[in-house]
Amino acid sequence: MGKILKMLGDILFALSINLYNQRCLNKIVEKGTRPVVETSDDELIPRPEIIERLKKIFQPCKSQSSYHMVCGEHGTGKTTLIKIASNEVGCGVIYVDIPANLEELGEAFGRAINFASVDHVSLLGRLMDKPKISEWGSAIRALDYASEVYKAKHDKPMVIVYDNISHLVHKNPDILDILQDNAKHSADDRKYITVFVSSEGSVPRRMQLIEIGDLTEEESMDYLVKKRGIKNIKDAEKIYGLVGGRIVDLKNVADDFCAGKSFEVVKQDILMEVEDKLRTANLLKNYQHYEVGKHVMNVLLRSKELSRIAYEEFFNEPAEAHEILEANIFSYHPEKNIVTFQSRSVEFYVKNIFY
């Protein structure tokens, strides 16, 4: 008797947490998660065209039936821009940061949608002889329900943004498959629109793509001179010549420079990092892919870009072409279907040291 009462108590507890969570979630969807933007306003380079494109995606029309991928190399500013745009839109935008440690996936969902622990809820699953319901799985189901409430009220779908899905690509493609299937079905049903954010070039073709690239020369110089106080234009030009408009590199070099490191020391550090990447990719002299890599680099130095097919034609094996493309020396741009150097610093190394 005592056992039965305890079980009933547990079931009621689980149900009340479910109800409580669902109410919290509906409120959050209404307001949007409004993730904190780490970059301070006085260091921020506004990128209004990209923000406008993102805001359009975050405000889908009633009949919107596609889902999206925002891609771009590491450190091009994807997360920052996504967070700014989702804050500006607010209502109906849920931002979920996929953690590097996938054990924390349930927590990440919990944080995004302010879920109370659903551990207890899994008891219900056990009692009903169902397999244990994972925390993130129940969060997704709850989101599904919240999207119906939102749609009924606003007559348009809400938006879920999954940042850093690259963490799933290699470690747990099964979860990525589930998220992608959900994205497709919910878009087909006009329930919610999913936006994936990734630094991996390979994406399913059926997604609508937005690629976030480097800052322009003017934006980069503005960042160095006006935002970071590097008053000597010649120094700023040298930094831009070395790392181009990759915002994360500009930031790191500006940090070092402002902390008193000389340009020469900063340059040596960057070139050593590139050399390490070439070593890991087996592209240095006497390494496995040196000869074929040299040919690709030679053409890229002259023409800046290659079509994907032209790039692949350098290789005897498609697997070799793919392996080298994964190694952060070259970069594939799905929106234009071209291959380039991965960054200005790689190009700088190849031009000044490799040859």
Ligand X SMILES: Nc1ncnc2c1ncn2[C@@H]1O[C@H](COP(=O)(O)OP(=O)(O)OP(=O)(O)O)[C@@H](O)[C@H]1O
Q: Shortest distance, CB of residue 80 to Mg ion, whole angstroms?
A: 8
Q: Tell me if 86 contacts Mg ion by CB under 5 A.
A: no
Give the DSSP letter of residue 227.
Answer: I
Whole-number CA gyration radius for the chain = 24
H helices within 40-198, ranges in order?
48-58, 78-89, 105-113, 121-127, 135-154, 166-171, 173-188
Identified binder of Mg ion from the candidate list 21, 33, 76, 79, rule CB under 5 A: 79
Which residues, numbered 137-166, are part of the site for ligand X (CB under 6 A)? 164
For ligand X, the closer CB: 75 or 99 = 75
For ligand X, the closer CB: 197 or 283 = 197
Which residues, numbered 56-75, are part of the site for ligand X (CB under 6 A)? 72, 74-75
59 binds, among ligand X, Mg ion, none (CB under 5 to 8 A by kind): none
Pairing of strands 306-307, 208-211: unpaired
CA angle 24–59–155, rounded 5-degree value? 65
Would you give the binding string for ligand X spanning residues 15-54, x where CB under 6 A is met?
-----------------------xx---xxx-x-------
Q: Shortest distance, CB of residue 77 to ligand X, whole angstroms?
A: 3
Q: Using CA atoms, how far apart are residues 158 and 112, in angstroms rounded to an integer?
A: 15
Which residues, numbered 192-221, are part of the site for ligand X (CB under 6 A)? 199
Q: Shortest distance, CB of residue 200 to ligand X, whole angstroms?
A: 10
As given in the structure block, the two tokens for residue 269 are: 């550090």
For ligand X, the closer CB: 72 or 293 = 72
6-12's contacts with Cβ under 8 Å and 24+ in sequence apart are 7/127, 10/120, 10/123, 11/123, 11/124, 11/127
> Residues in the site for Mg ion, rule: CB under 5 A?
79
